[in-house]
Amino acid sequence: MFCNYIILFLHTFERSLKIMEKQSDLIKNSSANQLTDLFGMNHEKVLICQDKDSGLKAIIAIHSTTCGPALGGTRMWKYASDMDALKDVLRLSRGMSYKNAISGLNLGGGKAVIIGDSKTQKSANLFRAFGDFIESLNGDYITSEDVGISPDDMIHVAKQTKHVTGLPGKKGDPSPITAFGVYMGMKAAAKSQFGNDSLHGKKIAVQGVGHVGEYLVEYLHKEGAKITLTDINDSLLSKVSKRFNCNIVNPDEIYDVDMDIYAPCALGATVNDSTIPRMNCSIIAGAANNQLENENIHGSVLMNKGVLYAPDYLINAGGVMNCYAELHDFSNEKVMQMAENIYQTTADIINHSKNNNIPTFLAANQKAEERLKMESSK
């Protein structure tokens, strides 16, 4: 019954996981309802990857190649369970399809997760094994770095496959462009909520000051925003706060601070039943993916509260634009112009939301699905 929902590719390498013959714990421990919910997102391909020699355990999900090869980053995270990893990669890959479609890029959507601790379990052999799995997809999936992955890690992947972007010496780390796009989307949301797009004096709570978060803080600092930060990495938090003269709070306290804008820039699902009642903000606009734990429920709750949510996959599209530019050899100026256009796209989605009295996430989904439908009919 499982194969009604997912296509598993069994490769000839010894490192392949022979799931069809001896079902993995991921499948055996999952209920039929769980699988139905997950695979109702209509993914084209899902690849379970395992290499015992290097310790690689990963999942690659290709949601759609309707607009072109599926592009999306690889993140490395110590998930609580294999099912959590699967849920994450399926949601993230669908988000990439929508992100690339709404951004007008000729790319499909995909994503990969490597299950493990990025601080202690990385190795050249692990990333080369991962590159072999990417190569086996024959160009259907192109990867880049994401949470827990660096451009240097991608060098090892690129030794096994050419389907990699974000390499040192090319466009490199997409984080600065991602942050600029988030900044543009935040300003568009401010224009709608406050009457002008200035962030000077606005109280902004930034959750997560990793690659993208730190660059975003720099943009906000330059505009004169009043910034409060949190992160689970105390040393990084201290460094960024001192550099930009920001306030610091503990991770769980970020939802309770006095803020005009909440900017989640770490992992997703931080906008949920327990946090929404605590947040006193007018706008949610950040770099994290899948910020709404349940978009159908929490998107509507935010709209009813008068909180403007800038759809995450729309405003954090700068990174994928950077990767797209690398594939097509665009100039840096061209990439920045593409990211700047996120401002107008965000404004258009907000207007579509208001005109149709629907949550902004749904307005964005509709526009993305229109593009996918148009491309599939060609």
In whole angstroms, what is the distance from residue 46 CA to residue 48 CA?
7
Cβ neighbours around 250 below 10 Å, total? 9
In whole angstroms, what is the distance from residue 182 CA to residue 215 CA?
10
262, 288 contact by CB (below 8 A): no
Tokens of 288: 């994290």
Q: Give whole-number Cα distances, 327 to 170, 203, 216, 236, in Å.
A: 10, 38, 25, 32
In whole angstroms, what is the distance from residue 358 CA to residue 70 CA?
29
167, 216 contact by CB (below 8 A): no
Q: Tell me the three state secondary structure of residue 109.
A: strand
Spatial CA neighbour of 204 closest among 300, 298, 310 = 310
Q: Output the CA torsion sign for 146, 271, 44, 36.
A: positive
In whole angstroms, what is the distance from residue 158 CA to residue 105 CA?
23
Q: Which of 45, 57, 99, 111 is catalytic?
A: 111
Cβ neighbours around 330 below 10 Å, total? 16
The reply to whether 111 belongs to the active site is yes
In whole angstroms, what is the distance from residue 241 CA to residue 243 CA?
5
- Alpha helices per DSSP H over the chain: 25-28, 32-39, 82-102, 124-135, 151-158, 175-194, 211-223, 234-244, 295-305, 312-315, 318-328, 332-340, 342-356, 360-376
In whole angstroms, what is the distance from residue 313 CA to residue 290 CA?
8
Q: What are phi and psi of 318, to 5 degrees?
A: -60, -35
Q: Tell me the three state secondary structure of residue 295.
A: helix
Which residues share a beta bridge with 230?
Answer: 207
Residues classed as catalytic: 111
